[in-house]
């Protein structure tokens, strides 16, 4: 089998279509029709990817995601959103969703997003060498524990905020355009607006830059972003 997928969707036609197509593709599929049922199944573990509708009875999809991420940071979550629901998309990504799809969607797009999540999961699961801690001036990042400190103060980041900051630090002193950042952080199969990068740069700056005397993240208008060490 290719992987274990949990579908949390209250629209029966959509849930049945996804279950049928994913099963045909070789995935093992489980379904839930309410937020409460979906959360209980998700917390039981064993899933590689969760397809999570935002508009659910009993518990909303965003509440399911919030509670899931309290104990599970690893399982990939793809949100299913209504057209034009931009605030929900941003909130979901900020809570730790890996991706989102806007209804109605093509089944091939579903397959592509799932493949992307599974690839990223395999990459993140690869064993890391010891002493992988990254230091840039007073900023310290531990890719293994995903802990971030600046000036001895712990910085709490969401999953995507952490991955964005890690990518910038790994490519320090290089100006990175939005397309490069999207491919590295959101994956090659990401389908969405490039301004998601600007939104997340703003989130990271608010937590990691603005409270301190010197800003590390620099904007190159019309080009992209760079995290820079001060010149010696």
pLDDT digits (tens, 9 = 90+) for 162-214: 999 999 999 988 999 998 898 888 886 676 777 889 999 999 999 999 999 88
pLDDT in tens, 184-195: 888 866 767 778
Which of 64, 68, 108, 77 lies closest to 5 in space, CA to CA? 77
Domain extent, residue 216, equals 134-227
The whole-angstrom separation of Cα 159 and Cα 65 is 12
Kindly state whether residues 146 and 207 are assigned to the same domain.
yes
Rg (CA), the chain: 18
Residue 162 in any domain: the answer is yes
The domain boundary, picked from 75, 107, 125, lies at: 125
Residue 128 has pLDDT above 70, yes or no: no
More confident residue, 188 or 117: 117
Residue 54 has pLDDT above 90, yes or no: yes
Kindly state whether residues 59 and 167 are assigned to the same domain.
no
Q: What is the CATH number of the domain that holds 57?
A: 3.40.50.2300
Which of 139, 66, 142 lies closest to 97 in space, CA to CA? 66
The domain boundary, picked from 125, 146, 172, lies at: 125
Stated pTM of the model: 0.57
The whole-angstrom separation of Cα 164 and Cα 216 is 14
Kindly state whether residues 188 and 218 are assigned to the same domain.
yes
| Phi, psi of 188, deg, nearest 5 | -65, -25
Kindly state whether residues 223 and 112 are assigned to the same domain.
no
Kindly state whether residues 188 and 108 are assigned to the same domain.
no
The domain boundary, picked from 125, 152, 172, lies at: 125
More confident residue, 47 or 1: 47
Residue 232 in any domain: the answer is no
Kindly state whether residues 138 and 192 are assigned to the same domain.
yes
Average pLDDT, the chain: 87
Residue 23 in any domain: the answer is yes
Kindly state whether residues 219 and 177 are assigned to the same domain.
yes
Instruction: Count CB-CB contacts under 10 A for residue 225.
Output: 22
91 Cβ contact list (under 8 Å, min separation 6): 62
Q: What is the CATH number of the domain that holds 203?
A: 1.10.10.10
pLDDT in tens, 72-115: 888 999 999 876 667 888 888 888 898 888 888 899 989 998 98
Kindly state whether residues 150 and 113 are assigned to the same domain.
no
Share of the chain above pLDDT 90, in %: 53
More confident residue, 109 or 7: 7
* Domain total in the chain: 2
Alpha helices in 44-129 (DSSP H): 61-71, 86-94, 107-125
Instruction: State the average pLDDT over residues 27-31.
Output: 94
pLDDT at residue 146, as a whole number: 85
Kindly state whether residues 74 and 165 are assigned to the same domain.
no
pLDDT at residue 203, as a whole number: 94
Kindly state whether residues 72 and 113 are assigned to the same domain.
yes
Q: Which residues of 155-183 are buried (b: 16+ CB within 10 A; e: fewer)?
A: bebbbbbbbbbbbbbeeeeeebebebbbe
pLDDT band at 129 (very low <50, low <70, confident <90, very high): very low
């Amino acid at each position: 089998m290719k992987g274990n997928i949990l579908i949390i969707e209250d629209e029966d036609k959509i849930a049945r279509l996804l279950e049928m197509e994913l099963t045909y593709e070789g995935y093992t599929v489980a379904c839930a029709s309410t937020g409460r049922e979906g959360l209980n199944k998700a917390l039981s573990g064993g899933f590689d990817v969760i397809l999570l509708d935002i508009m659910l009875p009993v518990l909303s999809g965003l509440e399911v995601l919030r509670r899931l991420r309290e104990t599970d940071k690893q399982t990939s979550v793809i949100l299913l959103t209504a057209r034009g629901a931009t605030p929900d998309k941003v909130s979901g990504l900020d809570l730790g969703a890996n991706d989102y799809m806007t209804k109605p969607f093509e089944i091939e797009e579903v397959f592509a997003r799932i493949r992307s999540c599974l690839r990223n999961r395999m990459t993140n699961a690869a064993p890391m060498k010891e002493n992988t801690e990254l230091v840039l001036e007073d900023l310290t990042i531990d890719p293994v524990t995903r802990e971030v400190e600046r000036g001895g103060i712990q910085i709490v980041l969401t999953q995507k905020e952490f991955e964005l900051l890690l990518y910038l630090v790994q490519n320090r002193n290089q100006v990175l355009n939005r397309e490069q950042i999207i491919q590295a952080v959101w994956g090659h199969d990401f389908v969405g607006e490039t301004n998601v990068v600007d939104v997340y740069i703003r989130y990271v700056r608010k937590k990691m830059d603005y409270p301190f005397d010197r800003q590390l993240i620099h904007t190159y208008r019309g080009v992209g972003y760079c995290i820079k060490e001060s010149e010696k």
